[in-house]
């Protein structure tokens, strides 16, 4: 996803989505991939979002989280929001609540 100087990419090897500004890493949203217990799809548990100090206050967390959630659904997975920034984003954008996974089954 690219828009006015920033780009969001999926770093699957490190289980995170990264936002860059003019090629420099500005932040990331990390997740843990939970494997399903039954026939349910795998779940990405977004547990940590970071915007680097020099990039805070520039509105970068919203496009980062938006793309991470969109891309998760696009790949037929669901997500969990244990990160407060992701929870807050979903609260402000209720349409993204549809992709939330059900309760953890152990």
- On whether the 2-99 domain is CATH 3.40.630.30, my answer is yes
Residues 31-60: what's their mean pLDDT?
91
pTM greater than 0.85: yes
CA distance 103 to 106: 10
Going from N- to C-terminal start, the domains of the chain cover 2-99
The pair phi, psi for residue 55, each rounded to 5°, is: -115, 0
| Selection from 2, 73, 25, 22 nearest residue 11 by Cα | 25
Confidence bin at 41 (pLDDT 50/70/90): confident
- How confident is the model over 53-96, as pLDDT tens digits? 999 999 999 999 999 999 999 998 999 999 999 999 999 999 99
């Amino acid at each position: 996803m690219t828009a006015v100087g920033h780009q969001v990419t999926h770093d699957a090897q490190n289980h995170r989505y990264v936002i860059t500004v003019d090629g420099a890493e500005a932040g990331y949203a990390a997740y843990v991939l939970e494997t399903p217990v039954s026939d349910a799809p795998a779940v990405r548990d977004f547990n940590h979002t970071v915007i680097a100090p020099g990039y805070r206050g520039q509105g970068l967390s919203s496009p980062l989280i938006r793309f991470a959630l969109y891309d998760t659904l696009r790949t037929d997975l669901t997500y969990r929001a244990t990160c407060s920034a992701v929870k807050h984003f979903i609260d402000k954008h209720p349409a993204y609540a549809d992709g939330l996974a059900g309760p953890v089954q152990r």
